[in-house]
Structure 1
Amino acid sequence: MGAVLDAKAYASKADRDSNRQSTRIQTINREIILDAAIAVFAVHGFRGSTVDQIAAKAEMSKPNLLYYFRRKQDIYRAVLEHTLDDWLTPLSAIDPQGDPIEELRRYITLKLKMSAENPAASRLFANEILAGAPVIGDFLKTRLRQLVHEKAGVIRRWVAEGRLAPVDPTHLIFTVWAVTQHYADFDVQIRAVLGSQIDQPGFREQTAQAVLTIVLNGIRPRG
């Protein structure tokens, strides 16, 4: 009996290990598909993109891709929601008990970093918004709205305590979004003005320092 139980336990462990490996592979493949889709959608837009293009970019067969996503619309929505999840993570991390200036400094720095490292996702999101948010409108009106109201309440309390200058909390968040995403969405315009300077070492750090100085000096308590 003991040997039978041991065999069953071994088989059960092998099944669990196999399931974990399968889940890990599925997660990796989904990430590969979403990364490929961002690149394709950013160039061709939703209407101009095809599942075949995304599969080719992901270097996998179309049937394999369709195992993870049934339709192009499903891929598009997943890309946008994945982007929003990434963007909302640093906003969620703002600590109500932390120092206001340092918490906002960290948030702005992370947003600038994300825009610089994944400009295609930012542009894709901007195009969705300009189209009236037909795919993620419900997400914006629920999760996004709730989080913004929550963090605006934190900023409002900091203002009431005299730890920040009197500013409108919601419009401060909008301003951070506008400034940080500008460097991704309007890259062509920035390059037209600054030329090769944008490709010089240290440009991202200089940009972050300039933005932080402008925004944070504007919200510091005034004597």
Structure 2
Amino acid sequence: MTPTTPPRPTRDDREALIVDSATQHFALQGFEGASLDRIAEGAGMSRHRLFYYFPSKEALYLRVLDDIVSQWLDNMVALSAADDPQQGLRTYIEAKMRHSMEHPYGSRVYARELLSGASRYREVIVERVGPVLQHDLATLQKWAAQGRIAAVDFTHLMFVLWSATQAYADAAPQYALLLGKPALEAADFDAAAALITQMVLELLQPR
């Protein structure tokens, strides 16, 4: 039999390799500390070749953030798409926790950008995250008006949910250390999601 020639990587394949490598380096070193030489090496190409796909370090950084936000927003649709408040909130929290488990480096890149004042990504956050948040708030307010959940400060409730779930990506090394294990396991994320869900549902129990 004649051996088959493996398909050549497409441009999208190569960009994905670069973005994956860049996400890890930006998460660990920050924008200023990340090296394009190391990012290119991680993607299996030269620095010169990397510039064929991304013209600058900032362009690559913004692409990484765009992908992170897109993944994050995909997980936010569960709430407004739900008919039942309890199921919608449960699915939303589980999706956010799953994102923290599957994309820890991406979460840390985003957290670093926020901690630095979001100077490079401020407008995108307002334009992309803001409308989705407002849609989710409208859903919660509708359920409260129908008497299906208690009325609380839903904006800060969402901020608390984001913080609680994202912490399992950003602070995962600390949590694993205190649990006496080398890394968090899927069961740890499931347990955290169940506890957060329980607290939220009890808080929103109609009075």
**CA distance in structure 1 between the partners assigned to 2:109 and 2:56 by the alignment:** 18
Give, as a single letter, the amino acid of the residue that structure 2 aligns with 1:86.
Answer: Q
Q: Which region of structure 1 is more displaced relative to structure 2, 80-89 or 163-172?
A: 163-172
Q: Given the alignment of the two structures, is residue 108 of structure 1 paired with residue 93 of structure 2, yes or no?
A: yes
8 A Cα contact 1:119 1:184, kept in partner: yes
**Cα distance, 1:201–1:40 mapped onto 2, change above 3 Å:** closer
Q: Give the aligned CA root-mean-square deviation in angstroms.
A: 2.1
8 A Cα contact 2:100 2:165, kept in partner: yes
The residue correspondences of 1:115-194 to structure 2 (distance < 5 A) are: 115-194=100-179
Q: Please give the TM-score of this superposition, normalised by the length of structure 2.
A: 0.88
Residue in structure 1 matched with residue 30 of structure 2 by the alignment: 45
Structure 1: runs of 5+ lacking an equivalent:
1-20
**CA distance in structure 1 between the partners assigned to 2:13 and 2:116 by the alignment:** 30
Q: Given the alignment of the two structures, is residue 58 of structure 1 paired with residue 43 of structure 2, yes or no?
A: yes
Moved over 3 A (4+): 197-201
**Cα distance, 1:139–1:201 mapped onto 2, change above 3 Å:** closer
Percent identity at matched positions?
34
Give, as a single letter, the amino acid of the residue that structure 2 aligns with 1:149.
Answer: Q
**Cα distance, 1:201–1:133 mapped onto 2, change above 3 Å:** closer
8 A Cα contact 1:111 1:180, kept in partner: yes
Query: How many pairs does the alignment contain?
Result: 201
Structure number with the higher helix fraction is 1
**CA distance in structure 1 between the partners assigned to 2:150 and 2:95 by the alignment:** 22
Rg larger in structure: 1
**CA distance in structure 2 between the partners assigned to 1:103 and 1:148 by the alignment:** 15
**CA distance in structure 2 between the partners assigned to 1:96 and 1:42 by the alignment:** 32
**CA distance in structure 2 between the partners assigned to 1:121 and 1:83 by the alignment:** 6
Residue in structure 2 matched with residue 31 of structure 1 by the alignment: 16
Q: Given the alignment of the two structures, is residue 211 of structure 1 paired with residue 196 of structure 2, yes or no?
A: yes
Give, as a single letter, the amino acid of the residue that structure 2 aligns with 1:181.
Answer: Q
**CA distance in structure 1 between the partners assigned to 2:128 and 2:184 by the alignment:** 36
**CA distance in structure 2 between the partners assigned to 1:138 and 1:201 by the alignment:** 34
8 A Cα contact 2:150 2:205, kept in partner: yes
The residue correspondences of 1:63-102 to structure 2 (distance < 5 A) are: 63-96=48-81, 98-102=83-87
Q: Given the alignment of the two structures, is residue 221 of structure 1 paired with residue 167 of structure 2, yes or no?
A: no
Q: Which region of structure 1 is more displaced relative to structure 2, 53-62 or 197-206?
A: 197-206
Q: Please give the TM-score of this superposition, normalised by the length of structure 1.
A: 0.82
Distance apart, 1:143 and its partner CA: 1.7
CA deviations on 1:61-94 (whole Å, 9 max, x unpaired) are 2232211100011111110111011101121343
**Cα distance, 1:200–1:107 mapped onto 2, change above 3 Å:** closer
Give, as a single letter, the amino acid of the residue that structure 1 aligns with 2:18.
Answer: I
Q: Which region of structure 1 is more displaced relative to structure 2, 33-42 or 197-206?
A: 197-206
